[in-house]
Structure 1
Amino acid sequence: MKKFIGLMVIGLTALMVLSGCGDQKEQETSSGTKETLTVMASGVKNGTQGVFLEQFKQMVEKEYPELTVETTLLPDDQYLTALKSKLSTGQAPDLFLVQPKKASANSVEELAKAGYLEDLSDLENWDKIKDQGKNDMSFEGKPYALSSSISVLGTWYNKDLFKQHKIDLPTNWQAFLAACETLKQAGVTPIVMGDKDSFMIQFGMYQVAANQVYPSNPQFDDQLYTGETKLTDDVWVKTVTMYNELYKKGYVTDKSLGLGQPQAQQSFVDQEAAMIFDGDFSLTAIENDNFDLGFMAMPANEEGETYLSAATGAGYAISKKSQHKETLKAVFNKMTDGQSEMFTNWLATATSFTTYAEGDDLNPVFEEIVPAFEAGRSFYWSNQAWPSGTETEMQAKFSEMIGAGKLKPIDVTEAMQKKFEELTK
């Protein structure tokens, strides 16, 4: 999950229109030499963050000749290690990627509590952000990071294959299983997943949880910390059981543990499977001219309406020790003013729904999830409420279950609960 939640690009081309932001004297030195502004993120060179860092460097150096921008892009695991080291030694980047709520070791709550993040309470347009975007990037009532996107986990599907096999869009779990069986009997792999990248397990699991865990108890995760609920409760055992059912029945390709996310996405694009569980953030990797593309919430509801798994995406925070805080805050103000070209470009970095309060200009591919989102039928990704490491244990044990076939769903949830208790002591 941590990879795909690094999708928040701050400004990109918007920085080209910035002029006069911040105090020029802030960057000047008595000797006239340039000062360095450092930016750090996780991702890959050709991914969202890689493109951002390259353009950020070019644009800021153009607008602020007194500055040299130094960028660092690392894989998720290396990023977390490197960021932790820099923070603990007082060498934090000026601007760096953080996750919402409790998600990951670089979460807003973790880093703000430790005093590493600059308080953004003086931003001019914070109230223009949707409540979800504000709450998820705040700690103890104060804002500490800015994100442009509310990202949705969903089920990308091949509309042409559904039409060819006379499959109506399923609206509940039994109809979804029936659709998978129809495809399987027709010789079509219903679902491809890249579980070699084990974070992808979250992409399906949290969609089930959004329908099985939270509708009956939205405070389930809060109550984990008081002991009122446990990850071994029936609702989580059922969640793991339902997701595992797709593997047991052969609806997910049997080589999922040998495929990474890029390979699974390409298999879907090549029409080797009818569906893939992924996020709206993967649109650019999945969009193609081979077939009519659809995006729906996995209908893991047994009755009633389907709920979405939607969460504020990763965003950027300013280091408490940065010498360029005022310049970076000025950039944030432009990005959220609702009228500038910088604002337009910043908002365009969101794939589907944005954190900005005054509406979304959605790609038509997401039209099927709009009613649920507008009706408030959505819940955050589970890991955002858990101490970092709980989801890793879930992934490891689920992989072991579908790979070796020796574990049961209760074994997975017991391992999750044990890890949760270890991390919260």
Structure 2
Amino acid sequence: MRTRTPATILAATAAFAVVLSGCTTPASDAGGGAQRNVTLTVAEWTNPGAVEFTKKLNAQFEKEHPGVKVRLQTAPTANAAWQQLWNSMLQSKSVDVLAQFAPTQQGFAPDYTDLEPGGAAALIASGQLTDLKDQPFMKNYDPAVQAAAVGHKNGVYGVMAAEYVGAGALWYKKDLLAKYHLSVPTTFQEFLDACETLKRAGVTPIFVSAKDGMHGGVWQGVANQMLMKGHRPAESVQVSEDRATAFWKGTQSWTDPVYQEISRRHQKVMQYIEPGAAGVSQQTAPGVWAAKTDDYPFLLDGSWDGLTVQQANPKLNIGFFTLPGTDEAADNRVAFKPDLTWVVPTSAPHKDLAMEWLALFSKPENYQQWLASTGSISTQPALKNTSLPWMDWLNTHMDDAFPQLTNPWVPAGAPLDAAGPDLYKLAPVGGDSIDTVLSRSASAYRKSVGD
């Protein structure tokens, strides 16, 4: 659904507020009946599949609501453009349905930490988003999943419409693996063995954008699987909270043996990436990988880029799986991340129409099209994304999947590596050792929480 970059999101600019202040024609939609000269504004970040679907849904909504015009506003997530757009639209009170990244429960640290929520969590805590829990269309979604993604104090402040796999996510070229008599690995050692076989055959195993931090998916994927060993999928939120509490109280640290082992495994995988990974942009990586049919069997990238890969090379026979981070196949489960969430600001000019738009979006026949367009994992329990061939592995492995673990709580403005090791600096992408990187993170974390 989005272009992932590690850059810090910037504050909104006043210029956007000026430009967008006239985007919506003021009109009341209370009282029912046909609307005249009403503009419903929907905003989401740039993603080809999602934007095309939204345009079609908007056309359907306009047909069903004579006199209503739906205006779609988009911006890329790169260089904080999306942050600037939605901030300015909220300031000008000109948006009715707004996409946000699901804050999850990590966004709401316990009161004893004195940490203030940020991003979408801050909008919820400050009363700027409408509680949707009792809206009829919410019955199509799993209430527990929605509450974990965008719930707060018995309210549910959005419709989490998309989930993706990013931690350890790997695309692969089926024909290229078959050429070297390889199958999808189920353990960490099997994956390393496959990479070694490919390397000896003169093939570079992994393509990745290390310029934009996508190699961090290896570390995250291994961490999720190792830390969730022995736990049921439903316990992932509690595992995250227990870890965050332990970090805050000083009983866990980034220098602990488990993080040293995760880092060692990360480095082993990094031996098989293309030499120029540090200069590869995440925006161009899927297309470059897809075009090169005789090299790079694996692409380290999220499941959100399926449409981009297919458009770059429609004839490419692709598959998708997650990196097996442990040596026990049963422990190598899928970790997914809540993503695009539709919210309705309390300042929405046409709140009733916004609810009707979400109801139309949530109809199973429409949501099924959304899944096909975006490659999302379904958040409606009655539906699965069966229209995309590469979803077969995910559909098979979703029964024991879990929401990916969140990082320990850190105050706003804390150094980047307080929340985890800086993988740009870890060898072989950077020049620092595991001990140096983890010690730096541990020190940054303790300083950020006031110790």
| TM-score relative to the length of structure 1 | 0.80
- 1:332-363 Cα distance to aligned partner (Å, 9 max, x none): 2233344xx44443454452530111131423
1:399 aligns with 2:424: yes
| TM-score relative to the length of structure 2 | 0.76
1:356 aligns with 2:380: yes
How far apart are the structure 1 equivalents of 2:379 and 2:409? 19
Matched with 1:332 is 358
Which one of the candidate residues 86, 98, 106 is aligned to 2:100? 98
Matched with 1:264 is 285
Matches within 5 A, 1:165-184: 165-184=180-199
Matched with 1:15 is none
Q: Is the 8 A contact 1:196 1:261 kept in 2?
A: yes
Matched with 2:15 is none
How far apart are the structure 2 equivalents of 1:391 and 1:331? 40
For this pair of structures, how many residues does the alignment match? Answer: 396
Q: Is the 8 A contact 1:210 1:379 kept in 2?
A: no
1:313–1:411 Cα change, 3 Å: same
Matched with 2:8 is none
Matched with 2:174 is 159
Q: How far 1:278 sits from its partner (Å)? A: 1.6
Q: Secondary structure at the match of 1:282?
A: helix
How far apart are the structure 2 equivalents of 1:184 and 1:298? 18
1:207 aligns with 2:230: no
Q: Secondary structure at the match of 2:136?
A: coil
Counterpart of 1:355 in structure 2: which amino acid?
T
Q: How far 1:195 sits from its partner (Å)? A: 1.9
1:388–1:80 Cα change, 3 Å: farther
Counterpart of 2:282 in structure 1: which amino acid?
Q
- 1:364-400 Cα distance to aligned partner (Å, 9 max, x none): 32222334311x2434153698778789547992113
Q: Which moved more, 1:225-234 or 1:306-315?
A: 225-234
Q: Secondary structure at the match of 1:276?
A: strand
1:320–1:187 Cα change, 3 Å: same
Q: Is the 8 A contact 1:4 1:281 kept in 2?
A: no
Q: Secondary structure at the match of 1:157?
A: strand
After superposition, the CA RMSD in angstroms is 3.4
Counterpart of 1:162 in structure 2: which amino acid?
L
Q: Is the 8 A contact 1:100 1:107 kept in 2?
A: no
1:322 aligns with 2:334: no
Q: Is the 8 A contact 1:121 1:142 kept in 2?
A: yes
How far apart are the structure 2 equivalents of 1:132 and 1:384? 21
1:79–1:302 Cα change, 3 Å: same
Q: Is the 8 A contact 1:312 1:355 kept in 2?
A: no
Q: Percent identity?
A: 20
Q: How far 1:246 sits from its partner (Å)? A: 1.9
Which one of the candidate residues 77, 81, 88 is aligned to 1:78? 81
Q: How far 1:222 sits from its partner (Å)? A: 1.1
Matched with 1:122 is 134
Matched with 2:9 is none
Q: Which 5+ residue runs of structure 1 have no aligned equivalent?
A: 6-21
Counterpart of 2:73 in structure 1: which amino acid?
T
How far apart are the structure 2 equivalents of 1:74 and 1:267? 23
1:127–1:408 Cα change, 3 Å: farther
Matched with 1:279 is 302
- 1:76-123 Cα distance to aligned partner (Å, 9 max, x none): 212223434554x46362221111134799754332112211111221
1:147 aligns with 2:160: yes
Q: Is the 8 A contact 2:410 2:449 kept in 1?
A: no
1:382 aligns with 2:406: yes
1:336–1:75 Cα change, 3 Å: closer
Q: Secondary structure at the match of 1:96?
A: strand
1:385–1:161 Cα change, 3 Å: farther
How far apart are the structure 1 equivalents of 2:185 and 2:288? 23
